[in-house]
Every structure is written in structure tokens, then in C-alpha cells.
């Protein structure tokens, strides 16, 4: 008896390989998180596509996420409902609902995939019952309270950004966002944010995960408010499982075999996973998108015409080829092409000044934002309409704070900066809003009374955060002394007392000042031994630098001009200017032991004889011999 004959006798239909839905789920998870380099560098992607929502639940703060989560976007929109109507996000959700309905939950939600994989762990399972059907209504309560009421009450009534579901419950935010970011050593300074709220969310995530092991898709069935929203559209969604009434005999096997709490095929609990298609002996069920059949019986007496089945398979192969090409392009774009274009295009905020150039080459400072570095100059337009340029504030202590309306610790500490500016009018304070959500900052600041602070908005074009090497996790504060040298840079919330202490420390710091401008006290302090190693003292800036001199000569002891050397420690290298006509190379560096290497030679010369040349802080002039051909 062949397989076709067996199918006729049993009335069961072959519906295609069961792995097809799993492949779509894996594909969607990878496409949503195509920014793979984010997992390696620990940074959240904040490009233009973040203004777009993906259909499934995928945390905005996941390092790999290339777009926004619709549920988070809805809460943020409701938070701002006192200023702008959330029509855009509601329209996106309605579009997803009308076109796909809860097919999104069954096919293209990464969290749905994780739940199903957890349920595959071999344990006793909890079957659906009247109890689970009643529990399935809990997600509508969570939708009403945490997604709608809390953001509206706090946003409109109190002016506080509070996405209730994201902050207090969402396991996707805990797993993809918090864990995804904090697993990277580059974000170790973010652990200060792990307070009681995170502990509670971690417990909730573990409980939900364990529940999914024993009970199929526990989060999806009982908790997920996004599924509740899409469930409203299921009855008339363009895509979903449909029943042919001419074939259906009302046996109810589709409902019995379904692991979800459905009462009939296609109701608000149905995720269109397609398991009912194989359970139907009459071949009455298929997965449809309008009049197009996406999945249905492919064998047996109830299968469609053979040409139609072949055409469906062919269209499926074409669709997969297109999908794979899209995925390859997305991975290449987000990880290779877009980063290369960003590096090639200078940031609009960047300004190269004469002071900065002199500081880097003549005074021996390294441009950067680590303590002891000369802060790079930049300019930006303020919300007040005025222009801010860092170099114009030489002679003042400058405090730069990075914040966002969605960052609760940021909003707690901003009043302290206003208090500091009121107490010490000479300090310059610039508060830079992260480019994500920057369009909401001006409305948020209205009526706050922080009139003494200068506020600016970052953007992809300005690039203030990457220019100052600021983290995506906030708050972060950089403090710069009167000479433009960084004295403090940390990603942590500050109290007023700590902020005042840091300001006074920067005010007293003379690093980078010409000798004639130093006070007598500073001179005495500089002359007084501190007991710390020379290398550590050198990190404070020019006061701890020493001059390293190397003479480059050929084998006949004739000086060689135009040779560029690198002075390397275990962690970094600095290139010199080309050697002068006397073969001299001079560098002002922190006291340390340096491995001297040849970077570039004039034509007619080969590498040096002494390839492993080292020079230490106790050494005088050194000679490097190159070979003249």
C-alpha cells in the first residue's frame, strides 16, 4: 500500500515539512536582530530604522535590534499623549493587525520561538482546560493597566515617562535588553542600574520561563498584551487559518488538537500556527493570505489540484530565495556598509581648532574623553536657538551630561545640575539628549523650570555622543577643567553633593595650564613628591610628561630624515612626526617603557638592525639604525 493510498484510508493529509514554521521563526528573529556587531561592541543600534516597528515582540534595547518594539512604541506614544496624539503607532499596530493578525504570534515573534523551544524540554505537561481559558483573559487586564493606564496617568497627569509593561514585566526587555547589554564587558559600568525593579523583572522572567516548560506558550496565552491587541483583529485579518464550510463536518478535532485556548479556529486566541491543518480529516482548513493559499493539504483526497500544489511549492521556493537575499543584505548593511559610511562621513558637531591641534602635537596631550585627555572641540545648536562651542568656554569648568526622557535615573539627577548652576553661575552645563527620542525632549522640558541649563539634542548627523565616546546607556557625565582637560568621565547617576565635589575638584585642577598661570600653591604641590609611580602621575597631563628622543641614522652613522616611528606600550601606540634633517624624533609621553618601531621609511632604506629597541623613562637619547641600500 503506497503513502497516497494510506492517506485516502485514514483521511489524514500531508501538510508539508513541520520544520517550515520553525525556519520562519528563526529567520524573523535573525532579521529583527541583524545588527550582530551590537552584541560584540555592546552598543544599541540607533539608526533611522529605529523609527520603524517590527510586528513581533523584540526589545528596542537589544544590542542586535534594528527596529523598535511596537508595544514599547505604543507605551511611549501614550506617555506623550498630552502633547501629541499617538496616531502613528496606533496606525502601525492596526496595519499589522489587519494584514497578519495573530499570525505574527505564531510565525514571526522571537519570544514565541523561545517559548516553544522551552516547552520541548521533556517534562510532564499541563494541558489546556477551563482554568487556562479563564487565565487567558489576564493579558487583557495587563494591556489595560500596564500598557494603557500607567503610561497615560504618569505621562499626561504627572509628566513622567513610565512605560509600565516594559519597566515592570516584559521578559523580552530583561533577556534581550538588560542581559544582552550587560553581558558585554564594555557596559560593566551599567551595573549600577540593577536595583529592585531589575531583580523583580529577573524573577518574573525566570517564572515565565519555567511556566513555558510545563505549559505551552504561557507568556503568549496569559500575559502578552501585544497578542491581546492582535487578537482583536483576528476575526477579519487578511492572513490566518481559514475553514472551508463546505468541507467542515463540525467534528471539533481542530480545537482538541490545538494547544492554545481556542473555542473555534481563527478566534482571538488562535495564533495560526497551522497544527489544526493536519488534524482535519476533511481537509477543510488552510493558511490563507486573502485568496492565496500559503499552507494546506498536499496529499490525500482533500488535497488541491496537483498543478496548484506544485505552483504553491514553487512560489514558496522563490519567496525563500528573496527572503534569504533580504537577510544577507540586512546583515551586510548593518554590520559592514552602514558603519563604514558613518566613519567616512564626519560628524556635523566636530570642530578642529588651532587650540586643539596645538594641544595634541605641541603639548603632548591625547585628544579624547578619558581623564587627563584634551576634550575634542565640538559645536551644536541649543534648544534656545543659540550656539554652543566647547572651545569658547575655555576658562570655565564645563559639565556635559547625557540624558534621555526615557531614562529614570537621568530625570532624577537633572534638578541637581540646575541647582549647581544656580549656586555656581560660572560653571557651564550642557545637557545633551540622546538621539533616540530626541523629538520628545522639548515638550518634556516645557514647564520644568530648568532655565539655567543649556539643552541640546543629538542626532545621527551631529554625532555628539560618538564624538565624545559616550555610551548608549545613561546617565553619563563628563567634566572638563578651565584648560579643556577632562577631569571626570563616568556613566552613573550623581547626587548633588557628589556633583558639587566634582565641580570644585575640576575648578582647582590646573592640568594643562601654562606654568606662569599656575598659583603658588599649585607650584608647590607640583614640586612636592606624591609617592605615586611616575607613570600614574604622567596620566594627569602635561605636568607628568617627559621627552623621549631618538636619533635615526644609517649604517654609516649619517642622519636619516623622514622616518616615522611608533612608541608602543602593551596597550597603545603613538606615531611620531617624521624625523628632521638631523635624524631627530622627539615625543612627549607619559613616563613608561616604550617599544620603538619603524612605521614608514624614505625610499632607498630598509628596516633597522635593532628591531627590538626599547626606551624607558630613565634612558637618555637613543639611536636607531636603518639600512641604506
CATH of the domain at 387: 3.40.30.10
Q: Which of 469, 496, 512 is the last residue of a domain?
A: 512
Q: Is the pLDDT of residue 588 over 80?
A: no
Which residues share a beta bridge with 549?
586
Domain count, the chain: 3
Is the per-residue pLDDT at 349 higher than 70? no
113 shares its domain with 169: yes
364: left (phi over 0), alpha (psi -120 to 50) or beta: left
Per-residue pLDDT reduced to its tens digit, 356-366 = 444 443 345 67
Q: Answer yes or no: is pLDDT of 527 > 60.
A: no
**Three-state SS across 213-268?**
HHCCCHHHHHCCHHHHHHHCCHHHCCEEEEECCCCCCCCCHHHHHCCCCCCCCCCC
List the single range of 120-129, 397-406, 599-608 with lowest mean pLDDT.
Answer: 599-608
In the numeric block, which cell numbers belong to residue 474?
Answer: 545613561
Per-residue pLDDT band at 347 (split at 50, 70, 90)? low
What is the Cα–Cα distance from 455 to 430, expressed in whole angstroms? Answer: 6
Query: Is residue 491 assigned to a domain?
Result: yes
pLDDT above 50 for 522: no
Q: Check residue 8 and give its pLDDT.
A: 39
User: Contact 360/377 with Cβ under 8 angstroms?
Assistant: no
What's the whole-number mean pLDDT along residues 222-229?
A: 97
How much is the average pLDDT of 313-320? 89
Mean pLDDT of 231-260: 92
Identify the pLDDT of residue 409: 80
Q: Are residues 461 and 598 in the same domain?
A: no
Location of C-alpha cell 575648578: 507
CATH assignment at residue 558: 2.60.40.10
Say if 204 falls within a structural domain.
yes
pLDDT of 351: 61
Let me know if 578 is exposed, middle or buried by CB neighbors in 10 A (0-12, 13-18, 19+): middle
Identify the DSSP state of 116: H
What is the crossing angle of helices 70-79 and 87-99, to 10°?
150
| In-domain check, residue 564 | yes
Residue 180's Cβ-side half-sphere holds a number of Cα atoms within 13 Å equal to 24
Confirm whether 336 is domain-assigned.
Answer: no
What Rg value do the Cα atoms of the chain yield, rounded? 32
Share of the chain above pLDDT 70, in %: 82
The answer to whether 272 and 239 are in contact (CB under 8 A) is yes
DSSP 574: E
For residues 478 and 611, state if they share a domain. Answer: no
For the ranges 42-56, 122-136, 187-201, 470-484, the lowest mean pLDDT is seen at 187-201
Judgement on whether residues 495 and 559 belong to the same structural domain of the protein = no
64 and 178 housed in the same domain: yes
Task: Provide the domain limits for residue 203.
Answer: 18-237
Beta strands in 360-498 (DSSP E): 379-381, 387-389, 398-403, 428-433, 454-457, 476-480, 486-490
Report pLDDT for 364. 54
pLDDT at 59: 93
Q: How far apart are CA 74 and CA 151, in angstroms?
A: 9
Contacts of 565 (CB under 8 A, 6+ apart): 550, 552, 575, 576, 579, 585, 596, 597, 598, 599, 624
Domain boundary among 178, 210, 237: 237
Of 8, 534, 94, 501, give the one whose Cα is nearest residue 302.
8
Regarding whether 166 and 26 lie in a shared domain, the answer is yes
Report d(CA 432, CA 425) in Å as an integer. 19
- How far apart CA 10 and CA 297 sit, in angstroms, is 14
Please indicate, yes or no, whether residues 588 and 449 belong to a single structural domain of this protein.
no
pLDDT at 361: 39
Give 619's pLDDT tier (boundaries 50, 70, 90).
low
Q: What are the phi and psi torsion angles at 293 (to 5°)? A: -85, 120
Residue-averaged pLDDT of the chain: 82
Q: Which of 495, 489, 510, 492 is CA-nearest to residue 399?
A: 489
- Ramachandran angles phi, psi of 374, nearest 5°: -80, 120
Establish if 328 belongs to a structural domain: no
Query: In this predicted model, which residue has the larger pLDDT, 11 or 181?
Result: 181
What's the pLDDT tens digit per position in 132-172?
A: 999 999 999 999 999 999 999 988 877 777 889 999 999 99
Residue range 561-578: mean pLDDT, rounded: 78
Q: What is the DSSP string of 268-301?
A: TT----SHHHHH-TT--EEEEETTEEEE---SST
pLDDT of residue 496: 92
| C-alpha cell, 74 | 505604543
Residue 124: the pLDDT is 95
Contact call for residues 217 and 115 (beta carbons, < 8 A): yes
pLDDT at 492 (0 to 100): 81
Per DSSP, the three-state class of 496 is helix
Q: What is the mean predicted confidence (pLDDT) over 514-535?
A: 41
Q: Are residues 482 and 372 in the same domain?
A: yes
Q: Note whether 75 and 220 are same-domain residues.
A: yes
Rounded CA-CA distance 151/76 in Å is 7
- The CA-based angle 71-77-78, given to 5 degrees, is 95
- Is residue 475 reached through a cis peptide bond, with omega within 30 degrees of 0 on the bond before it? yes
- Per-residue pLDDT at 99: 96
Cell of 262: 481556542
DSSP string, 13-46: ---S-THHHHHHHHHHHHHHT--THHHHH-----
| Higher per-residue pLDDT: 18 or 22 | 22
Span 482-510, pLDDT tens digits:
988 999 988 888 889 999 999 999 988 87
Q: Is residue 89 part of a domain?
A: yes
- The alpha carbon of residue 10 and the mean position of all alpha carbons in its chain are separated, in whole angstroms, by 53
Last residue of a domain, one of 237, 261, 279: 237
Query: What is the torsion angle, in degrees rounded to the nearest 10, for the CA atoms of residue 53, residue 56, residue 59 and residue 62?
Result: -90
- Residues 550, 450, single domain; the answer is no
Q: Are residues 487 and 580 in the same domain?
A: no
Mean pLDDT of 309-317: 85
d(CA 548, CA 546): 7
Within a domain: 283: no
Contact 331, 34 (CB under 8 A): yes
Mean pLDDT value across residues 584-603: 79
Alpha helices in 509-568 (DSSP H): 520-527, 534-538
Q: 342 lies in a domain? A: no
74-78, 85-89, 151-155, 290-294: which has the minimum mean pLDDT?
A: 85-89
pLDDT for residue 557 is more than 90: no
Helix (H/G/I), strand (E/B), else coil: 586: strand
Question: What is the average per-residue pLDDT within 181-188?
Answer: 78
pLDDT at 467 over 60: yes
SS3 (DSSP) at 143: helix
Of residues 384 and 304, more confidently modeled? 384
Q: Report pTM.
A: 0.69
Q: Which range is most confident: 266-280, 396-410, 435-449, 502-516? A: 266-280
Q: Assess contact for 491 and 475: CB atoms under 8 A.
A: yes
| Structure confidence at residue 514 (pLDDT) | 57
Residues 506 and 546 occupy one common structural domain: no
Grid coordinates representing 420 are: 549647581
Beta-sheet pairing, 573-575 with 564-568: antiparallel
Amino acid at each position: 500500500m503506497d503513502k497516497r493510498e494510506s492517506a485516502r484510508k485514514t483521511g489524514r493529509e500531508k501538510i508539508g515539512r513541520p520544520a517550515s514554521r520553525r525556519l520562519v521563526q528563526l529567520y524573523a528573529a535573525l532579521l529583527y536582530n541583524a545588527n550582530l556587531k551590537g552584541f560584540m561592541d555592546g552598543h544599541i543600534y540607533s539608526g533611522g530604522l529605529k523609527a520603524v516597528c517590527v510586528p513581533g515582540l523584540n526589545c528596542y534595547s537589544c544590542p542586535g535590534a534594528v527596529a523598535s518594539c511596537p508595544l514599547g512604541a505604543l507605551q511611549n506614544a501614550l506617555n506623550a499623549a498630552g502633547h501629541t496624539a499617538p496616531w502613528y503607532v496606533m496606525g502601525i499596530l492596526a496595519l499589522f493587525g489587519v494584514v497578519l493578525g495573530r499570525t505574527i504570534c505564531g510565525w514571526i515573534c522571537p519570544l514565541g520561538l523561545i517559548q516553544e523551544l522551552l516547552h520541548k524540554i521533556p517534562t510532564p505537561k499541563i494541558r489546556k482546560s477551563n482554568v487556562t481559558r479563564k487565565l487567558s483573559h489576564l493579558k487583557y487586564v495587563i494591556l489595560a493597566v500596564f500598557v494603557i493606564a500607567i503610561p497615560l496617568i504618569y505621562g499626561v497627569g504627572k509628566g513622567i515617562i513610565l512605560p509600565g509593561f516594559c519597566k515592570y514585566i516584559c521578559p523580552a526587555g530583561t533577556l534581550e535588553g538588560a542581559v544582552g547589554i550587560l553581558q558585554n564587558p564594555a557596559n560593566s559600568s551599567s551595573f549600577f542600574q540593577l536595583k529592585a525593579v531589575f531583580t523583580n523583572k529577573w524573577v518574573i522572567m525566570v517564572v515565565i520561563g519555567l511556566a513555558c516548560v510545563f505549559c505551552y506558550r504561557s507568556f503568549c496565552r496569559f500575559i502578552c498584551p501585544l497578542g491581546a491587541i492582535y487578537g482583536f483583529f483576528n476575526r477579519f485579518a487578511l492572513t490566518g487559518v481559514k475553514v472551508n464550510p463546505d468541507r467542515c463536518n463540525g467534528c471539533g478535532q481542530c480545537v482538541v488538537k490545538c494547544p492554545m485556548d481556542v473555542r473555534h479556529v481563527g478566534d482571538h486566541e488562535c495564533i495560526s500556527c497551522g497544527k489544526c491543518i493536519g488534524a482535519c480529516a476533511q481537509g477543510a482548513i488552510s493558511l490563507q493570505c486573502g485568496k492565496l493559499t500559503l499552507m494546506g493539504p498536499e496529499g490525500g483526497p482533500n488535497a488541491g489540484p496537483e498543478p496548484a500544489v506544485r505552483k504553491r511549492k514553487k512560489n514558496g521556493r522563490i519567496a525563500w530565495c528573496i527572503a534569504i537575499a533580504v537577510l544577507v543584505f540586512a546583515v551586510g548593511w548593518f554590520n559592514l556598509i552602514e558603519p563604514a559610511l558613518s566613519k567616512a562621513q564626519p560628524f556635523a558637531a566636530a570642530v578642529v581648532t588651532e587650540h586643539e591641534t596645538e594641544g595634541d602635537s605641541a603639548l603632548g596631550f591625547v585628544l579624547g574623553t578619558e581623564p587627563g585627555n584634551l576634550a575634542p572641540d565640538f559645536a551644536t545648536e541649543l534648544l534656545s536657538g543659540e550656539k554652543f562651542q566647547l572651545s569658547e568656554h575655555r576658562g570655565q569648568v564645563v559639565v556635559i551630561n547625557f540624558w534621555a526622557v526615557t531614562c529614570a535615573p537621568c530625570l532624577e539627577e537633572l534638578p541637581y545640575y540646575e541647582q549647581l548652576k544656580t549656586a555656581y553661575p560660572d560653571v557651564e552645563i550642557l545637557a545633551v539628549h540622546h538621539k533616540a527620542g530626541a523629538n520628545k525632549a522639548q515638550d518634556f522640558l516645557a514647564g520644568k523650570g530648568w532655565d539655567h541649563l543649556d539643552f541640546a539634542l543629538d542626532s545621527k548627523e551631529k554625532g555628539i555622543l560618538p564624538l565624545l565616546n559616550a555610551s548608549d546607556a545613561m546617565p553619563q557625565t563628563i567634566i572638563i577643567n578651565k584648560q579643556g582637560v577632562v577631569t571626570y568621565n563616568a556613566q552613573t547617576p550623581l547626587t548633588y553633593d557628589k556633583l558639587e565635589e566634582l565641580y570644585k575638584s575640576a575648578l582647582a585642577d590646573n592640568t594643562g595650564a601654562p606654568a606662569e598661570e599656575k598659583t603658588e600653591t599649585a607650584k608647590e604641590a607640583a614640586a612636592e613628591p606624591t609617592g605615586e609611580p611616575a607613570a600614574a602621575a604622567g596620566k594627569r597631563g602635561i605636568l607628568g610628561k617627559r621627552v623621549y628622543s631618538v636619533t635615526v641614522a644609517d649604517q654609516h652613522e649619517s642622519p636619516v630624515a623622514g622616518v616615522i616611528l611608533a612608541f608602543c606600550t602593551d596597550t597603545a601606540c603613538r606615531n611620531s612626526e617624521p624625523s628632521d634633517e638631523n635624524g631627530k624624533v622627539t615625543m612627549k609621553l607619559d613616563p613608561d617603557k616604550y617599544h620603538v618601531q619603524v612605521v614608514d621609511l624614505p625610499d632607498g632604506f630598509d628596516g633597522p638592525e635593532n628591531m627590538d629597541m626599547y626606551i624607558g623613562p630613565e634612558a637618555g637619547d637613543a639611536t636607531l639604525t636603518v639600512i641604506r641600500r
